[in-house]
Amino acid sequence: MKYSSILRTTGCYLICVSSSIYVNPLAAEALHWAGDFRTGYFSQEREARSGVNSSRDEGRVRLRFGGQYKANDSWQFKLRAAGRSYLEKNNPNSEIKIFSEIPAGDGLRAGDVTLDEIYAQYKKEKMDLKFGRFQTKMELEGVAKKSLDRNDSPNTDITWTDGIYTKIKLEDWLHHFILQYNYPTGATEVRRSPLDFSSSESRLSAFWALENRKKTGAFVQRGIDITYLPSALCEDGTTSCNTRKDYITIVGRLAMQWPISSSGTKFMLGTEAGYAVNTQLSSVARTGASGNADGVAWQLTFNFIDIAPKHSMGLVYANAGAGWLISPDFRNNNSLVELRYKWAIDKRNSLEARIRQRQDLQTLVGETRKQIDDDLYVRYTWKF
């Protein structure tokens, strides 16, 4: 389905819904405009599997802006445009696409603009319902918030979810359910090969999560979630894809926090672990000649919150097996070590810096060494 068709269909539906509900007479007060601007300097050095070294330095910009209209106490509607760009000569913004439908790699291509949110939202007591295009996240709490499975638009990336999202609060627990549409030409979130959505049986996928963020003793976060991508895994690779399987993952996350000084400094320990029920063949992942690829992933974080007022630091260790294919923050068959600093200047402005190393967990068949990436960034975010 082309983006224009989706836009017409969604727009028609929203108009029909709007006509059947009471509209706030104070239209000007009900309409709220907001956005965010993020920019920074990014540098990377790579030691490739061939032994060749390379480096890259670039500036990046991401801008998101939109409006939210509150029709009444139950209904509201939102539309937002988002675009990203590189600010250096080695990455020219050629082939710019306006309202690009499918992102590539880790998000929307540099130079492209899209609508990353266009949805209707119904809120009533303990239920929250969205349908259309929206942002979803299931992050582990900490200074460097990351996720093994769901984290739309991290860093300067632009990704999104198309579908229906229901959130229900029962006492201190939040129940999340997402029914998501996947395009035959590709996913709107990070979905790594050999995940493939060209089959009609993979068109709809599901996500369920149970989460508690109420502080209880030392616990500040507890959660578990399941991702179900039917007929999306090409076990024998996307070239032939003779064997399709459901790709199912189970993720659990936990975070605990303790005060460590009278000045307000806190220590947070967080962990997240995931298991993929089915994975591609090791020969497809190039990690071995037999069996299936490793489907285990995990991260462990050490966070020092407010080491000085509004200044925090965090350390992340993570491993993701070759069969872990759905994380926007962790590449499969990779280990990660990251040190993050954050200065929360105020509610609208923040400054962050990162030093990170990623490398192959297993040397790929046919290669002589592991690939190693060292990178850093300094980025600024302004919310308006």
Query: What's the rounded mean pLDDT across residues 80-85?
Result: 95
Over residues 7-22, the pLDDT tens digits come to 333 444 333 443 344 4
**pLDDT tops 70 at residue 139:** yes
* pLDDT at 25 > cutoff 80: no
pLDDT at 28 (0 to 100): 61
How many structural domains are present in the chain? 1
pLDDT given at position 24: 52
Whether residue 256 is predicted with pLDDT greater than 70 in this model: the reply is: yes
- What is the tens place of the pLDDT at every residue in 185-201? 889 999 999 999 999 99
- Angle CA 243–247–252, to nearest 5: 155
Q: How far apart are the first and last CA of the chain?
A: 34
- Taking residues 168-188, report their average pLDDT: 95
Mean pLDDT, residues 72-77 taken together? 96
- pLDDT above 50 for 4: no
pLDDT score of 87 more than 70: yes
Give the model confidence (pLDDT) of 325-341 as tens digits. 999 999 999 999 999 99
pLDDT band for 91, please (50, 70, 90 cuts).
low
What per-residue confidence (pLDDT) applies to 16? 40
Asked if residues 162 and 181 have their Cβ atoms less than 8 Å apart, the reply is yes
Please compute the mean of the pLDDT values over residues 137-156 and round it to a whole number.
97
Q: What is the pLDDT of residues 275-307, one digit of tens each?
A: 999 999 999 999 999 999 999 999 999 999 999
Non-local (6+) Cβ contacts of 229 within 8 A are: 182, 191, 195, 202, 205, 246, 247, 248, 326
Give the tens place of pLDDT for each residue, 95-129: 666 776 777 666 888 888 999 999 999 999 999 99
Are 252 and 227 a contacting pair, CB within 8 Å? no
- Position 26 confidence tier, pLDDT thresholds 50, 70, 90: low
Amino acid at 157: D
Q: What mean pLDDT, rounded, does the chain reach?
A: 91
Q: Are residues 231 and 246 in contact, defined by beta-carbon separation less than 8 angstroms? A: yes
Band of the pLDDT at 90, cuts 50, 70, 90? low
Q: What is the CATH number of the domain that holds 163?
A: 2.40.160.10
Mean pLDDT of the 241-258 span: 98
DSSP letter (8 states) at residue 201 = G
> pLDDT class for 5, splitting at 50, 70, 90?
very low
Q: Which domain holds residue 38?
A: 3-383
Least confident of 4-18, 68-82, 132-146, 356-370: 4-18
